[in-house]
Amino acid sequence: MSLMTPLETYQSYLALKLHFGGKYDYFKYGGKTSATLSAFEKRKDKFKFVKLSQKLSDPQILDYYLANFIRGKEWIGDFDQKNWLEHKKVNQSLEYVYKNDIEKLLTISENFDILFKVGEGNHPKLVKAYLGKKISLETLVILEKVLEYRKQFDAKISETYVWPKVSLLIKKYEPFLDIDARAFRLKTLTLVKELTL
């Protein structure tokens, strides 16, 4: 089913792992890594890559990896199909999920701007809603594409453990979430007007 060989499946895994783990840019380098066949052959978990290359198409493999990396999984042995199904569910109904998340945010605060207020270096309500699993990562990324708040948060949030990881995750996931930012900007304005009257 896949055009990727088990080695290419492994190389894609490494590229995404490097992308989400640090300074490597998956898009800049086209997902290429210097992983060799001999390194692949030495892995005790190579059967997982063989299995994936036989069962899934190339886009499905990348989506499976993405779904697990954005949920904090780093080793292929910890990857879970449940994460992939949840990821697909959110992305197939992205507009609906976003609308519901905005509604939830506006029940937390009647004023949309207050969601982005960083008080005394603490997490703003937007980040607290994400950390409390009230809104999705996708909503954070869409709001970043629409409002570009992340750099402001980076400068103002004094906490140095949780936010930097969330900020990096938003930055690394953003290019994978292909949306019409203009349409979502209009949708956000409409929702805020409707729900804050």
Whole-number Cα distances in Å, 53 to 46, 60, 111: 11, 10, 49
pTM for the structure as a whole:
0.90
Surface-to-core class of residue 137, CB atoms within 10 Å of its CB (0-12 exposed, 13-18 middle, 19+ buried): middle
- CATH fold match for the domains 6-91 and 93-195: no
Query: Percent of the chain beyond pLDDT 90?
Result: 64
Instruction: Please check whether the domain covering 6-91 is classified as CATH 1.10.8.60.
Output: yes
Averages of pLDDT over each 10 residues, the chain, 197 residues: 82 94 90 90 91 90 94 89 92 94 88 87 91 95 94 90 92 94 92 80
Q: Where do the domains of the chain lie?
A: 6-91, 93-195
Per-residue pLDDT, 4 = 84
Q: Which fold has domain 93-195?
A: Annexin V; domain 1 (1.10.220)
Mean pLDDT of the chain: 91
